Structure 1
Amino acid sequence: MTTSISDAPEDLIRAEALGLGFDACRFTAVTTPWPASARLGEFVEAGRHGEMDWLADTRERRSHPRAMWGEARSAIVVGVNYGPDRDPLAVLAETGKGAISVYAQGDDYHELVKARLKALARWLQVRFGGELKVFVDTAPLLEKPLAEQAGLGWQGKHTNLVSREFGSWLFLGSILTTLDLAPDAAEADHCGSCQACLDICPTRAFPAPYQLDARRCISYLTIELKGPIPREFRASLGNRIYGCDDCLAVCPWNKFAAVAAEQKLAAREALRSPSLADLARLDDAQFRALFAKSPVKRIGRDRFVRNVLYAVGNSGDPALAGAAERLLGDPSPLVRGAAVWALGRLVSLKDFQRLRRASHEADADVLAEWSTPHSARPRGSGDPGVLC
């Protein structure tokens, strides 16, 4: 049922949202056609969603905001600035350290944004009535197209939202409501001829501007992919152990973005550039303790240490070989396989063959790692490479 209200409430809602800690708040109708549905269909039909089956399974519900809730009339779209206080790409040169995506260096933004959205929703219902539903990324609602339609920014060539005020650093949340709210103007595309985000991608995950093949994206590979990362991408990971900020960080619009001032969004020092050697030693309890309240915790210790070991192999530092060797007996075959790959990059052919002979491996995937020819060491390692 549509709920009509008088005395234009948009300014009051926006003021309340900003008072709750949101950095942006805009409005859009959800009764119009939804071009994002066609783009999603093409993405799924091309198989570019990889193992993210939930995208295909919820495709119909994602086809339009009203496919999720037929009563909805308007959307309130909010953003929280999480702009970093230093260059997030600088850590990529520290090959003995791990690079964790900016958004995951502090507390889980889902909880932060959801708590504020619920507070805004409670206030909205008391003040103006109507029915509403709250969304923060985890529900089948295409929030980036919704934010573009509301004027928070536009989807750049890297498919992420870009804001003239906050660059590529906005967490999004939405409220669908039966209220009829005056829509803000949609934002125009301001990418122009720039394609810095496409050029910097280490794995060439963008087949064309405004298109993403998630199967090649480092964020997908290190977070969503449950098994071994395909060999063709491992060297390109560098020391990225959770997500990838390259396409976000290189965007020229970031120069207008202010550093996030909020303490809850601040990076934890322990997660800015953690030691690969230390991370490789984490057992499950230590992993959970280190990443308490962090989104990293959701992928689990084994998948995370898999990523760490690929970074160890890319470090070019033979001193880290011991960190990989210690994990040859790990209970997880995912970890053991990554340890084998890392050793193939760091130790001599003679030592690698010795370790293989001493192995009592029975898992087929790990045995394949032992028997597959390995890439040469990274340049500058002082070794001509290992082929076995």
Structure 2
Amino acid sequence: MTTRELSAGPVMCVVGARPNFMKMAPILRALAAHRPPLPALLLHTGQHYDAAMSDQLFADLRLPRPDINLEVGSASHAVQTAEVMKRFEPALDEHKPGCVLVVGDVNSTLACTLVAVKKNVPVVHVEAGLRSYDRKMPEEINRVLTDQVADRLYTTERSATDNLVREGIAESRVCFAGNVMIDSLLSNRAQARPVADTLRDGGHDPALLQQGWGVVTLHRPSNVDDAQTLGRLLGVLGEVARRLPLVFALHPRTRANIERFGLGALIDPQRMLLLPPQGYLEMLGLMAGATMVLTDSGGLQEETTALGVPCLTLRDNTERPITVEQGTNTMVGRDVQAIREAAAEILAGRGKRGRVPELWDGHAAERIAADLYQWLRAGAP
């Protein structure tokens, strides 16, 4: 059977923002390596507004240049979602894909899904079924709605299938494939950038980290948009930094709010080393050697679990419970005392090491490609 018999057109693979890139890179390689190959088109909505960082991530992950770039840029959730839909429809009409493959939970994921389903183009969702059960998170809305209308859903953990079934989605539409984010991590770990090089590029002396370090990322509005909340978090991070130097990769939103709220005095430049947003290989190097990671990122919860590095998640909930149940993740929210105590446990050598969850083995994308081939061959959806 040839690929022409599989569908009317290629698999249109959609990326929009940084988290998507790490998930799509192994998928594209797996589609090309499948026998027979599954033809694919890469469409970048341009939701990620930092063009230089986007280019660097594509290079780090060995992602091909996009076949189509919608160049949407940054805007409010409503405007951005609408603009993606407006620009995506002509691309869909022109290229006539056999299906649209979306990953994760960013605005582009939902926007392209809505356009495709309304035009009767099958939708495949990778990383389906994750739930925080916090409807105040825009990502949660994107996840729930995408899953409801997608035709084929690939999950990273078994509990995600349970979530989908509870929401009325037929289990026959779901395939437990594993975590493509970990495919990227394992395939790139040997290429991780040395920490000393990353620090020098950021204007810091690598000798400051001779006794170890932690890594910090903060970007969620609930953590950085309120002066008191951000001030409390910076205060407790400063306490941790007095015992363990922290490398803080500053999101532009966070940097702007530190300046706007006049909180710069809370940062000791000898103990809390500020860096601009980092590339994938730089962050991988920083995390792999870290004593701990403190973050409000979803992806870092997964990556630290795969690396066996203790992680403190500065959120009240997580859509990735397996990282807590089986992995290295501890939920501490914005509770200063909880952060202080959990960090002390790690520094005392009692941090969680966990285990790597089922099918987080570097072969998730291969399983997706094999299943997708059979699904398309059977006449999806």
Give the TM-score, by structure 1 length.
0.24
Larger Rg: 1
Which structure is higher in strand share?
Answer: 2
Give the TM-score, by structure 2 length.
0.24
